[in-house]
Structure 1
Amino acid sequence: MKVFKFLFVSVLLLMTGMANAQKLPKAVLKDINGKTVSTDTLNNGGKPFIIDFFATWCKPCNRELTAISEVYDEWQEETGVKLFAVSIDQAQNINKVKPLVDGNGWEYDVLLDPNSDFKRALGIQMIPYVIICDGKGNIVYKHNGYTEGAERELIEKVRELVK
């Protein structure tokens, strides 16, 4: 009886989780080259993708994006994952984003959220903040803050999605 009850509750929780799969909210941003992007259409051709919120002045954010950049080619080769780096720098600091990205050699798709519309729509309070979406665009993982080595947890979550 205990096994049945456990299985029933597990299936119920799983179904509830699927029914409440959170999709990305819509916010209209610009990419680093000025092209308009609607956040509810972000995708990676059916493969998982990561959204990493950062700011030029945020040291932990920069450490995280730099650590990921060191293994990003390997991640892409292994899983096909794509990373969208979303800057929340305000309008007066937007001109600092491209030099930071270029200077660090970050090969990410960079989006600009100067009014924090996308950040606010997701209820994000602090950065760095990372979201992993599955191949259908469902948010499946969220993480706040950065400690050295946390990028290994990210790739493990992505690997689970591509199994």
Structure 2
Amino acid sequence: MKKTFAIIMLLCALAPLAQAQLPAVTLKTIDGRTVRTDTLNNGGKPFIIDFFATWCKPCNRELKAINEVYADWKEETGVKLIAVSIDQAQNINKLKPMVDEQGWEYEVLLDPNGDFKRALGVQLIPYVLIVDGNGKIAYKHNGYTDGAENELIEKVRELLSK
């Protein structure tokens, strides 16, 4: 009995690591198109998913810092960034003006009910995932400090060199 319990506990502990693929959640884009998250891809190249909210100062600093180097990242690696807003429905009207004002060229998805966030076990934002060219989650990071975007591009480069 103890052995069975130990095996079950081990499997439960490893379960989050086994979740390699993105869960299937239906979201909308900022312009109203429907997208299933399990179909997100970048043509065989890695992509970044960044959970944020308009009211989250560290999130906005992170996305602004990435925006400053994003064109170089795309040219060098082909990576793309998908920003997922967890703003509640009543705040979504603030989102498009903010994205336009910042000049973000990211694909922006809306997760107002937190379905995608919950399916991935995201507790705090900013929260970043890097998904490899095969659609498997290769890296997760929570929080933002100045310069952390450099770690993201390094992880993308590592994936491309494998």
Superposed pair shares fold, TM > 0.5: yes
> Is 1:146 matched up with 2:157?
no
Kindly state the Cα deviation for residue 130 of structure 1 after the two structures are TM-superposed: 0.1
Counterpart of 1:112, as a letter, is L
Q: 1:96 is matched with which residue? A: 94
AA partner of residue 34 (structure 1): G
State how far apart, in whole Å, the 1-side matches of 2:99 and 2:42 are: 21
The match for 1:65 among 63, 66, 80 is: 63
CA displacement at 1:20 relative to structure 2: 3.3
Instruction: For structure 2, list consecutive stretches of 5 or more residues without a partner in the other structure.
Output: 1-13
Distance, in Å, in 2 between the alignment partners of 1:76 and 1:96 is 27
Aligned residues: 146
Q: CA RMSD in A?
A: 1.3
Runs of 4+ in 1 over 2 A off after TM superposition: none
Cα distance in 1 for partners of 2:126, 2:143 equals 5
| CA distance in structure 2 between the aligned counterparts of 1:22 and 1:136, rounded to whole angstroms | 10
| More moved, 19-28 vs 32-41 | 19-28
* Distance in structure 2 (CA, Å) of the matches to 1:50 and 1:79: 12
Percentage of matched positions with identical amino acids: 75
Q: Work out the CA distance in 2 between the residues paired with 1:162 and 1:78.
A: 11
Q: For residue 21 of structure 1, report the CA deviation from its aligned partner.
A: 5.7
Other-structure match for 1:48: 46
CA deviations on 1:48-100 (whole Å, 9 max, x unpaired) are 00000000000000000000000000000000000000000000001111111
Letter of the structure 2 residue corresponding to residue 92 of structure 1: Q
CA–CA distance in 1 between the matches of 2:100 and 2:143? Answer: 23
Separation in structure 2 between the aligned mates of residue 95 and residue 108 of structure 1, nearest angstrom: 17
Q: What SS does the aligned partner of 2:74 have?
A: helix
How many angstroms apart in 2 are the aligned matches of 1:30 and 1:86?
10
Q: Distance in 1 between matches of 2:78 and 2:160?
A: 9
State the TM-score, normalized to the length of structure 1: 0.88
Q: Does 1:133 align with 2:127?
A: no
Distance in 2, matches of 1:20 and 1:89, equals 29
In structure 1, runs of 5+ residues without a counterpart are: 1-15
Q: Distance in 1 between matches of 2:87 and 2:93?
A: 9
